[in-house]
Amino acid sequence: MIELSEARARVLSSLPLLGLETVSIADASGRVTATHVIARMSNPPADVSAMDGYAVRAADALAGSVLRVVAEAPAGHPTSTKVGPGECVRLFTGSVIPSGADAVLIQENVSREENSITVNAEPRSGAFIRPQGQDFAKGQVVVPAGRRMTARDVGVAAAANVPWVTVRRRPRVAIVSTGDEIALPGEPVPPGGIIGSVAPMLAALLREAGAEPVMIPPARDTVEDIRRATQGLESHDLVLTVGGASVGAYDLVKDALGQSGLNVDFWKIAMRPGKPLMFGRLRGTPVIGLPGNPVAAFVCSVVFALPALRSMSGQSVIEELPHKARLAIDLDANDSRFDHLRATLSRDEEGVLWATPFAKQDSGMLAPLAACDALVLRPAHAPAANRGEVCDIIRFGRMSD
Ligand SMILES: Nc1nc2c(c(=O)[nH]1)N[C@H]1C(S)=C(S)[C@@H](COP(=O)(O)OP(=O)(O)OC[C@H]3O[C@@H](n4cnc5c(N)ncnc54)[C@H](O)[C@@H]3O)O[C@H]1N2
Ligand code: MOO
């Protein structure tokens, strides 16, 4: 058995980078930028007003003074009229500031007569003007390379007049379940059978991470059938097998793939759940042999497959730092396997997160996995921990509080 950190380092070493494609900015959310996104224009593109009011010369706009309205310049309709001494231009939020003006006087601070205004409260020079390029300047990096684009990144790139972005193509991940007992959801379940829940669960996880999962029909527990089901899968970017990873007489994945040319890097790690995890390369394609217990398959995918996909996608952050929470219960000293305890999270009145691991941590139990908010991380040989101690957690997207 090797340590978790070493196993992860081995999986992440020398993974190939995915190829490039160009997508429209409207389709770019969730995609990983392969190059910096550079602003093609500044924002704002010109000095503009932040309020509805009047463009004035601050030196003229003293309280009580009267200014002549010489033009109106709605947003999108800049005026060439210059603001001279004793003059102002009517404008609105987003209007380009006409030349000669150096401040915007909001309309609440004037009394409007026919063609003039009386200043009730004087603006300081520069008031309510958004200077050209205040947000970002032409030529500036608005989204760095290696970032999985969010809706906010799409917004800033669009504002920068960038219609297309160069991204890494989505990784294609094959998922092959194995086992005579596996039936597909909705199928008749044979005697002694169970539903193959892992493939759809992992497909959903991978899709959320930006990958294209491909579910292969389950293989029977024979070397021949596993070889048949896995034939040609090296055309994918990553292959995940499910089940048949342990030491039983019908745990044949390693042998079957070995016959197909799999180069095994490691098998078995000091981790719970996930001890029988296997990793190797099939003609260069990384293959992660996941244990069949659904929680083990899920946790191993979070710990190994997701960082591997980030690495192949050229993401700058491959391993996110764990979050912190306080333990809501005492925990015994840990043994030699790095543990991942399914736990709920709650907040106290000061907003501090508390993690409550479930009493039963069986790696076959899907209901607590679905109900949990986080995995509490217990390194190998961690000493006993008391309630209130801070622990590391991998937090999932949804919280119960
Ligand atoms: N003598 C030992 N037995 C086991 C050991 C061990 O060290 N010595 N390790 C245990 C651990 S830890 C794990 S994890 C499991 C992993 O076993 P396999 O990877 O060989 O998986 P299977 O035996 O095929 O299945 C285990 C379990 O999961 C169910 N399963 C399998 N595939 C699916 C699926 N696609 N969807 C839902 N459920 C699935 C299967 O029916 C079994 O109940 O080995 C322990 N044994
Ligand atoms: O490593 Mo296994 O996943 O504990 O059940």
* Closest residue by CA, ligand 1 atom 12: 275
pLDDT digits (tens, 9 = 90+) for 210-252: 999 999 999 999 999 999 999 999 999 999 999 999 988 988 9
Asked if 220 contacts 319 with a C-beta cutoff of 8 angstroms, the reply is no
Distance 276 CA to ligand 2 centre (A): 7
Q: Which atom of ligand 2 is nearest to the CA of 364?
A: 5
- State if residue 246 touches ligand 2 by the CB under 6 angstroms criterion: no
Q: How many CB atoms lie within 10 A of CB 190?
A: 11
> Which tens digits make up the pLDDT trace of 170-226?
999 999 999 999 999 999 998 999 999 999 999 999 999 999 999 999 999 999 999
Q: 357, 367, 291: which is closest to 329 by C-alpha?
A: 357
275 in contact with ligand 1, CB cutoff 6 A? yes
**pLDDT exceeds cutoff 90 at 397:** no
Is residue 27 over pLDDT 50? yes
Model confidence at 400: pLDDT above 50 = no
pTM of the model as a whole: 0.94
The token pair at 43 is: 């924002």
User: Is 265 within 8 Å of 256 (Cβ atoms)?
Assistant: no
For 278-318, write each residue's pLDDT tens digit: 999 999 999 999 999 999 999 999 999 999 999 999 999 99
Structural domains of the chain, ranges and CATH numbers in brackets: 4-15+170-312 (3.40.980.10), 20-43+148-168 (3.90.105), 48-130 (2.170.190.11), 323-395 (2.40.340.10)
pLDDT digits (tens, 9 = 90+) for 60-112: 999 999 999 999 999 999 999 999 999 999 999 999 999 999 999 999 999 99
Q: Which of 300, 332, 136, 321 is nearest to 205 (CA)?
A: 300
Distance from C-alpha of 308 to C-alpha of 312, rounded to nearest angstrom: 6
Task: Tell me the C-alpha distance between 355 and 341, whole Å.
Answer: 10
Ligand 1: which residue has its CA nearest to atom 30? 292
Q: What angle do CA 371, 373, 374 make, to 5 degrees?
A: 125
Residue 324 three-state SS:
strand
Contact by Cβ (8 Å): 282, 234: yes
Return the bridge partners of 347, or none.
353
Element (H, E) at 152: helix 151-159
Is the C-beta atom of 363 inside 6 A of ligand 2? yes
Give ipTM to 2 decimals. 0.98
Task: Give the model's confidence band at 320: pLDDT under 50 very low, under 70 low, under 90 confident, else very high.
Answer: confident
Measured from the alpha carbon of residue 366, the closest ligand is: 1
Token readout for 363 is 């790696």
Q: Helix, strand or coil for residue 63?
A: coil
Residue owning tokens 């032409």:
138
Overall size of the chain counted in residues: 401
Nearest partner of 92 among 127, 122, 49, judged by Cα: 49
Gap from CA of 244 to ligand 1 centroid (Å): 7
pLDDT tens digits, residue range 362-373?
Answer: 999 999 999 999
Q: Is the CB of 243 under 6 A from ligand 1?
A: yes
